[in-house]
Amino acid sequence: MADPMKIRAAMKGDVCEIRVLMSHAMETGMRKDSDGKTIPAHFIQTLTVALNGKAVVSGQAAPSVSRNPVFGFKVKGAKSGDKVTVSWVDNKGDKRSDEATVA
Amino acid sequence: MDHSPQKRMLVGALSTLGALGALTFSASALAQEIDHAKAAIEFEKFRAEMEDSNPSELFELKGEELWKAKRGPKNVSLAESCDLGQGIGKIEGAYVQMPRYFADADAVMDAERRIVWCMVEKQGFKFDDIAKKPFATDTFTPDATNLVTYVAAHSKNMKIAVPLKDPKVKEAWEIGKEMAAYRAGPYDFSCNTCHGTDGKRIRMQDLPNLATAAGAIKGVQGWPGYRMTGGIQLTHQWRMTDCFRQQRFPAPKYTSDAIAYLLTYMIGNANGQVYKGPGIKR
């Protein structure tokens, strides 16, 4: 089971700023361990952000994204109290979904 | 550069325009000073921005889980058994008031040493198992590191207040001060060689003078911290151990007296300064 994300969502004017910290190894598949063996690729492939259950961001990530990545989004049409759901799926099929409330 | 035509002309002009020449030279030296200061300020800005979404928080979350969970052979949680100096389970402000003397352990302990002590004495973990892999690698973060991050986060924006009035802590501070001045190793230098005077630097890194409050806080701020290079979470214990390595000293024992004393000296010197919580490093 993957570790939880940390989600911050706050209204700035009429735009909702969402910041997500994800806990993930994000292995590129290019690195080798101390024995010289290739470390298999392990990275987040798709991520989605939903506002009150309606998808507002849908994206793909690649192995070039850093370990424990931070993503930021700006969403219009949100209001304080809305529910933000962020989910990701990685290339091994592992997934995680966390929620936060817009402040 | 010194032999550039412009400079030679300038030197030639010095006899007639002595005052102007001198002004030009001092101005270029000043420009270098400003460039260096500017780079440091720019880096601080970058760090401030990163701190807004600091991955340290991920480790804080794991630390919270570990603090509250019943674990170890004795199946107790640290929250119901571990006293960090503020009472059992109390963590508000605990980090900025350590190192301190703990009568139950009869030792001066920094935060990580105390947490490990609690894991061993209260939860029944084996110290040797913990000390086998005390610091984070790119695939592994020790429980103690997560716990320290969690505890440190609850001292955010509080003033450092190491209880130096306690004679045991004061003694530790004195020993730490001696250690900081102890020259040894193949390069024959001490902590103070780099960290004992103002205005020193290695390459672009300013070296804080740990004998002053303003300098010592720079050695406290940002730990425990997330290293962007490698993406790993590291603690003050690690930082001190790495100082020993950089000095080509033998590696100190994990959570040993030596490290507790050095930390007492450094953190004690930072008393009164504000701690900003777990940080982010290059």
Amino acid identity of residue B148, one-letter, is V
Provide the shortest C-alpha distance from residue B108 to chain A (in Å).
34
pLDDT of residue B49: 73
Range B74-83 contact pairs with CB under 8 angstroms and sequence separation of 24 or more:
B74/B122, B74/B123, B74/B124, B75/B123, B76/B122, B76/B123, B78/B115, B78/B118, B78/B119, B78/B122, B78/B123, B78/B147, B81/B118, B81/B122, B81/B123, B82/B114, B82/B115, B82/B118, B82/B122, B83/B118
pLDDT of residue B5: 47
User: A70 contacts in B (CB within 8 Å)?
Assistant: 53, 55
Distances (CA, A) of B40 to A73, B36, B46, B201, B206: 29, 6, 10, 12, 9
> At B222, phi and psi to the nearest 5?
90, -5
> For residues B61-75, b (16+ Cβ closer than 10 Å) or e, as one string?
bbbbbbbeeebbeee
B131 in the same domain as B266: yes
- Please check whether residue A30 touches B, CB under 8 A: no
- Among candidate residues B82, B191, B194, B243, the one labeled active-site is B243
Give the burial class of A12: count Cβ atoms within 10 A of its Cβ; 0-12 exposed, 13-18 middle, 19 or more buried: exposed
B127 in the same domain as B36: no
The count of other CB atoms within 10 Å of the CB of residue B256 is 15
Among A25, A68, A72, the residue with its CB nearest the CB of B55 is A68
Closest C-alpha to B152, from B81, B84, B103 = B84
Tens-digit pLDDT string for chain A (103 aa)? 578 888 989 998 889 999 999 989 899 999 898 899 999 999 999 999 999 999 999 999 988 998 889 899 999 988 899 999 999 999 999 999 999 999 8
Q: At what angle do helices B213-220 and B257-269 cross, to 10 degrees?
A: 130
B interface mutation test: which of A1, A21, A27, A43 has the most B CBs within 10 A?
Answer: A21
Instruction: State ipTM.
Output: 0.76
B67 in the same domain as B34: no
The count of other CB atoms within 10 Å of the CB of residue B81 is 17
**CA A64, A66, A68 angle in degrees (round to 5)?**
145
pLDDT of residue B41: 81
Q: Do A70 and B53 touch (CB under 8 A)?
A: yes
Among B58, B138, B231, the residue with its CB nearest the CB of A21 is B58
User: B52 contacts in A (CB within 8 Å)?
Assistant: 19
Residues in a beta bridge with A72: A19
Distances (CA, A) of B188 to B185, B262, B269: 5, 18, 25
Domains annotated for chain A, with CATH where assigned, are 6-101 (2.60.40.10)
Closest residue, chain A, to B61 (C-alpha): A4
Give the burial class of B196: count Cβ atoms within 10 A of its Cβ; 0-12 exposed, 13-18 middle, 19 or more buried: middle
Among A23, A25, A72, the residue with its CB nearest the CB of B58 is A23
B117 in the same domain as B35: no
B60 in the same domain as B42: no
B264 in the same domain as B228: yes
Closest residue, chain A, to B51 (C-alpha): A70
B23 in the same domain as B161: no
Q: Do A6 and B52 touch (CB under 8 A)?
A: no
Q: Can you tell me which residue has the tokens 């412009």?
A: B6
Cα end-to-end span (Å), chain B: 33
Quick check: B217 and B272 in contact, CB under 8 A?
A: no
Q: pLDDT by residue (tens digit) across B14-29?
A: 444 444 444 445 555 5
Counting the structural domains of chain B, the total is 2
Residues B13, A33: Cα–Cα separation, whole Å: 63
For residue A3, give the DSSP letter: P
User: A3 contacts in B (CB within 8 Å)?
Assistant: 58, 61-62
Amino acid identity of residue B33, one-letter, is E
Q: Do A3 and B231 touch (CB under 8 A)?
A: no
Residues B168, B95: Cα–Cα separation, whole Å: 18
Interface of A with B in 64-93 (CB under 8 A): 66-68, 70, 72
Residues A53, B250: Cα–Cα separation, whole Å: 57
pLDDT of residue B7: 45
Amino acid identity of residue B199, one-letter, is G
SS3 B55: coil
Provide the shortest C-alpha distance from residue A70 to chain B (in Å).
7
For residue B73, give the DSSP letter: T
B76 in the same domain as B44: no
B74 in the same domain as B41: no
Q: pLDDT by residue (tens digit) across A16-29?
A: 999 999 989 899 99
Quick check: B181 and B247 in contact, CB under 8 A?
A: no
Q: Which two tokens stand for residue B241?
A: 């151990």
B118 tagged catalytic:
no
Among B55, B61, B138, the residue with its CB nearest the CB of A4 is B61
A interface mutation test: which of B53, B56, B282 has the most A CBs within 10 A?
Answer: B53
Q: Which two tokens stand for residue A69?
A: 């990545």
Q: Do A70 and B58 touch (CB under 8 A)?
A: no
Contacts of residue A34, Cβ cutoff 8 Å, sequence gap at least 6: none
B116 in the same domain as B38: no
pLDDT of residue A79: 87
pLDDT of residue B19: 43
pLDDT of residue A4: 85
Provide the shortest C-alpha distance from residue A5 to chain B (in Å).
7
Residue B84: which CATH number?
Answer: 1.10.760.10
Residues B147, B240: Cα–Cα separation, whole Å: 18
Print the domain residue range for B123: 55-281
Tens-digit pLDDT string for chain B (282 aa)? 444 444 444 444 444 444 444 444 555 555 555 666 777 787 778 777 777 778 898 899 999 999 999 999 999 999 999 999 999 999 999 999 999 999 999 999 999 999 999 999 999 999 999 999 999 988 889 999 999 999 999 999 999 999 999 999 999 999 999 999 999 999 999 999 999 999 888 887 889 999 999 999 999 999 999 988 888 999 999 999 999 999 999 999 999 999 999 999 999 999 999 999 999 887
Closest residue, chain B, to A26 (C-alpha): B231
B101 in the same domain as B82: yes
pLDDT of residue B33: 59
B39 in the same domain as B62: no
Give the burial class of B118: count Cβ atoms within 10 A of its Cβ; 0-12 exposed, 13-18 middle, 19 or more buried: buried
